[in-house]
Amino acid sequence: MLLDGFAAEWYQGVKATISTWKEAIDLLKLTFGPQKPAYRVYRELFANEQDESTPTDIFVCKARSTLAQLPNNTLTEEPQLDMVYGLLHRRIREKVSRNKINNFNELLSQARLVEETFERTDS
C-alpha cells in the first residue's frame, strides 16, 4: 500500500471503481493535486520573503516546493534561482553573489557557510 492516512481511506472507498493503476493515479491527482494556474503559484512564491529566523535550507525547500506546482518545463533552473535568490534575506544576498551561483546546491552550500558565520558571530 503506497497511501496512508486520509489518502488510504479515500482509496478504499474508490478502489472498486478503478480497474488500472493509471486510472488510480489520474483520480488521485484529480482529487488531491489539482494544478494551480501559474499566476497563483507565482503569487504564492512572491508573497513570502525569507525572514531572519528561517534557515536558508528550509526557505529554499519551501520555495522549490511551490515552484514544483508549475506545469512541467515552465521554467528552467536559472530563472527559478533568480526568483528564489531575490527572496532571500538581505544579509544572505549581501554575502552570496548571485553571479557565482549556478544551481541550487551551490546556493545552499554558500548560504550555509554564511549562516554558520552569523551563528559564530552572534555567540
The structure's pTM equals 0.72
Mean of the per-residue pLDDT values of the chain: 89
CA–CA distance, 39 with 53 (Å, rounded to integer): 28
pLDDT value for 104: 96
Pick the range with the lowest mean pLDDT from 14-18, 33-37, 40-44.
33-37
Q: Note the pLDDT tens digit of each residue in 48-103.
A: 999 999 999 999 999 999 998 888 888 999 999 999 999 999 999 999 999 999 99
Model confidence at 1, in pLDDT bands (50, 70, 90)?
Answer: low
pLDDT reported for residue 58: 95
